[in-house]
Structure 1
Amino acid sequence: MSNYPEKISLSLYIIERLKQLDCKQIFGVPGDFNLEFLDYIEDDDTLQWVGNANELNAAYAADGYARIKRSLSCIVTTYGVGELSALNGIAGAMSERVPVLHIVGVPSEALQQKHALLHHTLGDGIFSHFSKMSAPISSAMANLHTSAVGTDGLPYEVDRVLAAALTQCRPAYMTFPTNLHHVKVPSKNLSTPLPHPHSAPLTPAALLEEHVTDSQAEIELKLVVDEIQRLFEASHDPVVLVDACAERFGVENEVSKLVATTGVKFFTTPMAKGVLDESHEMFGGVYVGANSLPAVKELVEKSDLVIAVGALKSDFNSGSFSWAVDVRHTIELHSTHTQVGYAHYPAVTFRALLPALNARLGESIGKHGPKGEFGTTRKQENLKLAEEQQAQAAEGPVKEVATENAQKFGKEAITQAYLWPRMGKWYRENDIIVSETGTSNFGIIDVPVPKNTSVVSQVLWGSIGYSVGAALGCALAAKEQGDRRVILFVGDGSLQLTLQEIGTMIRHGLNPYIFVLNNDGYEIERCIHGPTRKYNDIQPYNHQLLLQVLSKPDGSQPTKSYKVQTQAELDALLTDETFNKRETIQLIELIMPRDDVPRALLTQAQLTANANAGV
C-alpha cells in the first residue's frame, strides 16, 4: 500500500526516487531554469543541497559521493552554460563506471516549441545541441516532454533513466523543463523499488546480441563452472586478480569468499586498490604489468591460472598494456560475459558465476582434504611467498630509490620514497584515501592500506583537479557513515584547478586532512616530457593562506594549516594528539623536492613516452 497521494508533482516524484536510493546530498549550482526544482530539494528535511563553487567541481563531488555510498548520486545544473561545465566530470564517471544522475533544468516546453531566442543558447532556436553532447557519456537519456509520453508517462521515463544508471554503473542524463516542475504525475511506480547497483540484474552480452532463454543461460553457466573447476584442479599455482569492476558492481564479497575458499593468493590493480583487505595474509600486492614490483610481477606472471575479476585494462592500470599473462591460462569474469582462455561465454555474468563457482570449488576442496593440494599446504606455500615478496619489496626498488634520493636531496627531505611508506603507518582502518592524478596516484600503489580502506582515484579518466571535488563528496558520504577519516593527497598544480571546493568543505563543517604535495609544478608531466619546459611550471601560491581566504572573514570557521619541510617535522605532526583529533579542516603543505617522483611513476612515464612515440 503506497503512502503517497495518487498524484504528486514530478519534482517530488524524482526526489522520492532519490531518497529511496539513499541519495541524501544533491550537488550542483543554481540557475534560472532549475530554481523551482531546487525549492523542492531545500524544503525536504532529509535532503541537503550542497551548493558547489562550479559545476565541474559538483560533478567531481557527485562522483566521490557515489563511490563511497556505493550507490547513485545526483547533480543538478542549468541549461547550456551549467551543464557543459559539468561534462568533464560526468565523462570521468562514465569512464570509471560511477552512477551519477545529471538533471538539467531547461526552458519550458512552450519556449522550446517556439524556437525562442533565449539566453544560454547558441542563438539558433535549437534546444537539442547540448543534450546531444551528453549522449556519448550517458547510459541513458530522457528529455522530459509531455508531447512525447504524456503526463502519465513521465514517471516511467524517470525510472528508465535511473534503472540504466544503476544497472550499468554509469551516468544518466535528464532534462527537466521549467513548466514540468509542478505538474502532477501518478505516484504508483514509487511502490516498486529500483535495483541497487550491487544487486541489479546484469544484462549478459548474449541478451544484447541475440535471444537467449533462461534455460540456455543456466546450461552455459554450468558448462563454465565445470570448465573452471577442471582448470583449477589441474593448476599448481593459481592466483586471483581483482580489478575495478568487481567493486563497481559489488561482487567483492564473493571474490573474498573465493580467496577464502581456495586459499590462493590474490592481487589487485591500481583501480581496485583497497577493494579487498590488503592486511590479509593472502594479499600479494598490486599488479600493473611491467610497472609492478618485481616480486609481484613474478608471482602473477608465473601463475598457471589467473582468475581475473572485473578487469579494466587501461594504460595506467596495466603498465601501458604490459600484462604478461598467457590468455590460455586466464579466466576473465565480467559484468556482461565470461572468458575462459579463448572461449567466450556471453550469457554468463560474474554476479551469477561467482556464487556458483564458490560452491563448486568448496565441494572440490572438501574432497581433497585439508592437507591436499588445495588446502593447508597451498596456504602455507602462499604465506611463504608473501613473506618473500614483502622482504624483496623492502630490499628492492623502493629501498634503492630511497637511498638515491637521500643522497640527492638530503636525508631530511620529504621525498616520495619516504612519504608513502610513512603515511602507510599513519593510516587507520575505515579511512577514505583520495589521491590526485599524478604523483599521488602512483605513490600509493606500493604501500598496503588497512582493512576497509576506500581508495578513491581516477586512474582511467585522469582529470587533474578531480581529487579536491571528489574529496568533498567523499567527506559528505563519510559523515553519513559515522564520520570516517578523509585523507586527500593533491599536488600543488592540480590543486589550482579546483581549490574553490575547499570552501564548500568549510561551509558544511567537514574536517578532511588535505595534504598538498608542493613540488613546484606539474611533476608528472615533467617526468613524461619537458622537465625544464616552462609549460610545466605554475604560479606558486601561498598555501598557508588558502583556508583563511576560503572561510568566513569573521573567524567563526576555525581552520588549521601546517607547512612541513622535513621528515622530522612530518613525524612530529602525524603523532601529534591535537592533529589526530580532527576537530577542524586541516591543510598540510609538504615541501618536496622538484624532480622527485615515485618508483611507479618513473616506470610508467617511460612506458607512456614509448607509447606516445609509437615504440
Structure 2
Amino acid sequence: MTDTIEFASYIVERLKQTGVKQVFGVPGDYNLEFLDYIEKDPVLNWVGNANELNAAYAADGYARIKGGLAVLVTTFGVGELSALCGVAGSLSERLPVLHIVGAPSTRMQRSRALLHHTLNTPSSFTAFTDMSKQLSCSMALLNQVSPDTPNGYVDAFDETLRQCLTQCRPGYVELPMDAVRAVVSTRGLNVPLPDSHAAPSLEALRQLTPPGTPSPINKLYKDFGFFEPKPDEVTEHVVKIITRLYEGAQRPIVLVDACAARFGMGPIIRHLVEACGIRFFTTPMGKGILDEHHPLYGGCYAGRNSLQPVRDEVEASDFVLYVGSLKSDFNSGSFSVHIDDAHAVKLHSYTTQVGYAEFPTTDIRHVLPLLVGALEGVKSERPRVLGESLEQKMKQGRVATLVNRPEGTDIVHKWLWPRVGSWFHDNDIIVTETGTSSFGLLPVPLPSHASYNAQVLWGSIGWSVGATLGAALAAEEEPDKRRTVLFVGDGSLQLTVQEIGTMVRRGLHPYLFVLNNDGYEIERQIHGATAQYNNIQMYDHQLLLPFLAGKNPATPFESHVVRTQDELHALLLDDKFNVPDRIRLIEVVMPRGDAPEPLLLQARLTAEANSGH
C-alpha cells in the first residue's frame, strides 16, 4: 500500500477491518460519490434499502447477529432525519451502528448557500448534527476539520469509530463531498481498532464517562485529597468484595441481561455458572444469550411478569450476580423486580454496583473474567444441586406446555407459542416484534444455540421487519447455515413492509410469520379494546410476495395461510417447508382479543403504572 490514499478509500478499508460486509442505506446526491467506493470494493456489499428508517432497523439487526459494527449511509437532511428513530433504538439498546452522512461541500457550507435539503434558516448546516448529537456517543464533524490539518480527517473518523466500537453505541460521521477524494496518510490503517467484546484499555476507562452519569471516580479522590488508585487496582478490589459476598451466600444465582450479549459475555458467563454450579436466569432482553435447555437454567425473570416458579426462586436468592442489566419497564414487569440491593452485584460497562456502593472505571469486560477464577476457587459447603430446569418443569405440567390443547380449532396464543417453540431448529435466528410475538415466546425455552432478538426497550413498531433483513444478511456471512424466522403482527408489518422487497432482491430466505388478528392487539390490551384508533386497513397478505417480488424475483417465494391448529401443525411438519430454500410468508389467522398471558399481565402492570396507583 502507498503512503497516501483517498479518504473515502481509507473509510472503506477501516470498515473492512471491523468485519463489516454489508452497508445499509439509501442513495442521495450528497453521498453518491462515496457510494462509488463501496460499490467497486470486492468485499463490501451495498444493500440498498427501501427507505432510511428501514435501513437503520436493518443495521440494528445486523449488529445484533454479527456481535459487532453495522454501517448506515444516508444523505444530508432528509435522509439522515428519516433514519433517526432507528438510530435512537440502537442507542437505547446498546448497538454499535456507524451513521455516515453525505453532506454538502465545506465551501458550500461556509458560504451558507441555500441548497436543497436545507431548512432555509441560519442553522441550516448545524441543525441536523445537533439532532444527532443526543443519539451518538461520538461525532466526526469533518466539515469543521481543516483539510490542511495533518491527518485531521483520519483522526476525527478513527476516534468516532473507536468510541462506537468500545461503547457499543451509535457514532455519527458527517462526510462533506469534498472530503471524499481528499488525500490522507495510510498510517492510521496500521493502528488496531478495538473489539467491543474485548476489555477496553484501562486508560480508556479513566477517560470515558457515559452520557448522563456523574463525574468519574478520579474527581472524587481529588476532591478529598486522597491518592487516586489505578483502574486495575479498583477492579481487583471489586472482585474481592464480590467474592466475599458469594462465599457467604446459600442461594446464589446469576441473572443475565441485554448488555451481556452486547459485550460478548455469554461464553464467560456459561463457564462461570458451570464451574461454580450456579443457577442462572435471563431477563426478556437477555433471553437466548445462554442455553435454555441447560440443567442450570431456571427461566426468564421479569418481576411480577414471570412464571411463579421462576419468580419464587429468583426472589428467594441471597446473592444475585446481575450481568449487563437494563431495568426498563417491559424488561422488569413495570419495575416489579424484587431483588434486595444489599446482596445484588450489578455488572455494567464502565461501572460496577456492589450492594449500595458504586465503582466507576470498572468494566464488565474486566470484572467478569476475573470473577470466574475467584468464584471457582471458593470452597463452599453448599450442595451443588442443579435443580429443575424450566424444560423439566414444563414436562411436569407445572408451567404452560404444549400437551394440553385448548378447546376449539382456532390458533390461539396459548397453543401457538409452545408449538412453534418445538418447531425451531437448534441455531435459528428468531426475530419478534414488540407485541404479542415478543411476549408470547418469553416463557418458551428456545433451542440451545438459537438467537432471540426483540427490541424490548425502544419498542419501535415495525422494527422487526427491517431487523430481519439485517439479521438474515449477517447469517449469510456465517459458515453454518442458519434459518431466520420473523414473527410480526399485521399492524406492525404495515409500517415497514417494503423491506420484504429488499429481502427478495438480495436472495434471502427467511420465514415471515404474520399474525393476522385484525389490528394492534398489544395496544388494545393496554387501552382502547374497541377504539377505532387500534384498527388497521386489512391487507391481502397472500398478494404481498407476488407484488413485492415483481416479474423477475431474485429468489423463489411461497405464501401460506393457516386458520386452524391442524393446518399450522401440518405445515410445520412438512419436510419441504422446513428447507430454507425460498422466502416464505405464513399468514396465521388468529382471533381478535386473544393474547399471550405475559402480555395480558404486562398490560395490567402498565395500566397500573400509567394510572399512578
Q: What's 2:467 paired with? A: 470
Contact map agreement 2:299 2:443 (CA 8 A) in 1: yes
Choose the corresponding residue for 1:418, options 411, 415, 420: 415
Q: What's 2:502 paired with? A: 504
Higher mean displacement: 277-286 or 140-149: 140-149
Instruction: Give the secondary structure class of the aligned counterpart of 1:595.
Output: coil
CA distance in 2, matches of 1:584, 1:184: 45
Q: Relative to 1, partners in 2 of residues 1:529 and 1:65: Cα closer, same or farther, differing over 3 Å?
A: same
Deviation of 1:134 (Å): 0.4
Q: What's 1:89 paired with? A: 86
* CA distances 1:415-453 after superposition (whole Å, capped 9, x unpaired): 111111001111111110000011111011000111221
Query: Does 1:336 find its partner at 2:335?
Result: no
Contact map agreement 1:96 1:460 (CA 8 A) in 2: yes
CA distance in 1, matches of 2:268, 2:557: 42
Contact map agreement 1:401 1:417 (CA 8 A) in 2: no
Deviation of 1:484 (Å): 1.0
Deviation of 1:304 (Å): 1.0
Q: What's 2:526 paired with? A: 528
Q: Which residue identity lines up with residue 612 of structure 1 in the other structure?
A: N
Q: What's 2:562 paired with? A: 564
Q: What's 2:387 paired with? A: 383
CA distance in 2, matches of 1:612, 1:205: 40
Q: What's 2:282 paired with? A: 268
Give the alignment's TM-score, normalised by structure 2: 0.94
* CA distances 1:81-105 after superposition (whole Å, capped 9, x unpaired): 0000000000000000000000001
Query: Does 1:233 find its partner at 2:233?
Result: no
* CA distances 1:250-307 after superposition (whole Å, capped 9, x unpaired): 1222111110111011000010110011111100000000000000000000111111
Instruction: Give the secondary structure class of the aligned counterpart of 1:414.
Output: coil
Q: What's 1:457 paired with? A: 454
Higher mean displacement: 59-68 or 118-127: 118-127
Question: RMSD across aligned C-alpha pairs, in angstroms?
Answer: 1.9
Deviation of 1:378 (Å): 2.1
CA distance in 1, matches of 2:276, 2:590: 44
Instruction: Give the secondary structure class of the aligned counterpart of 1:289.
Output: coil
Q: What's 1:594 paired with? A: 592
Deviation of 1:356 (Å): 1.6
Instruction: Give the secondary structure class of the aligned counterpart of 1:463.
Output: coil
Query: Does 1:68 find its partner at 2:65?
Result: yes
Q: Relative to 1, partners in 2 of residues 1:606 and 1:487: Cα closer, same or farther, differing over 3 Å?
A: same
Q: What's 2:212 paired with? A: none
* CA distances 1:101-145 after superposition (whole Å, capped 9, x unpaired): 000011011110110001101112530110100000001011113
Q: What's 1:188 paired with? A: 187
Correspondence 1:119-138 to 2 at 5 A: 119-124=116-121, 126-138=124-136
Deviation of 1:207 (Å): 6.2
Query: Does 1:115 find its partner at 2:115?
Result: no
Q: What's 1:48 paired with? A: 45
CA distance in 2, matches of 1:79, 1:206: 31
Correspondence 1:201-216 to 2 at 5 A: 201=200, 203-204=204-205, 208=209, 209-211=216-218, 216=230
CA distance in 2, matches of 1:308, 1:555: 47
Instruction: Give the secondary structure class of the aligned counterpart of 1:461.
Output: coil
CA distance in 1, matches of 2:192, 2:598: 44
Identity of aligned pairs, percent?
53
Q: What's 1:249 paired with? A: 263
Deviation of 1:58 (Å): 0.2
Q: Relative to 1, partners in 2 of residues 1:385 and 1:589: Cα closer, same or farther, differing over 3 Å?
A: closer
Which protein has the bigger helix share? 1
Instruction: Give the secondary structure class of the aligned counterpart of 1:517.
Output: strand
Correspondence 1:144-163 to 2 at 5 A: 144-145=142-143, 146-147=145-146, 150=149, 152-163=151-162
CA distance in 2, matches of 1:225, 1:180: 47
Q: Which residue identity lines up with residue 140 of structure 1 in the other structure?
A: S
Q: Which residue identity lines up with residue 156 of structure 1 in the other structure?
A: D
Higher mean displacement: 411-420 or 529-538: 411-420
Q: Relative to 1, partners in 2 of residues 1:387 and 1:499: Cα closer, same or farther, differing over 3 Å?
A: closer
CA distance in 1, matches of 2:553, 2:141: 45
Q: Which residue identity lines up with residue 475 of structure 2 in the other structure?
A: A
Contact map agreement 1:468 1:501 (CA 8 A) in 2: yes
CA distance in 2, matches of 1:386, 1:545: 40
Gaps of 5+ in 2: 210-215, 222-226
Q: Relative to 1, partners in 2 of residues 1:459 and 1:506: Cα closer, same or farther, differing over 3 Å?
A: same
Instruction: Give the secondary structure class of the aligned counterpart of 2:304.
Output: helix
Choose the corresponding residue for 1:537, options 535, 553, 558: 535
CA distance in 1, matches of 2:388, 2:281: 16
CA distance in 2, matches of 1:429, 1:583: 18
Query: Does 1:579 find its partner at 2:577?
Result: yes
Instruction: Give the secondary structure class of the aligned counterpart of 2:512.
Output: strand
Deviation of 1:582 (Å): 1.5
Instruction: Give the secondary structure class of the aligned counterpart of 1:247.
Output: helix
Deviation of 1:38 (Å): 0.4
Aligned pair count reads 595
Choose the corresponding residue for 2:307, options 269, 278, 293: 293
CA distance in 1, matches of 2:398, 2:365: 40
CA distance in 2, matches of 1:184, 1:147: 13
CA distance in 2, matches of 1:165, 1:300: 34
Contact map agreement 1:514 1:586 (CA 8 A) in 2: yes
Deviation of 1:555 (Å): 5.9
Instruction: Give the secondary structure class of the aligned counterpart of 1:527.
Output: helix
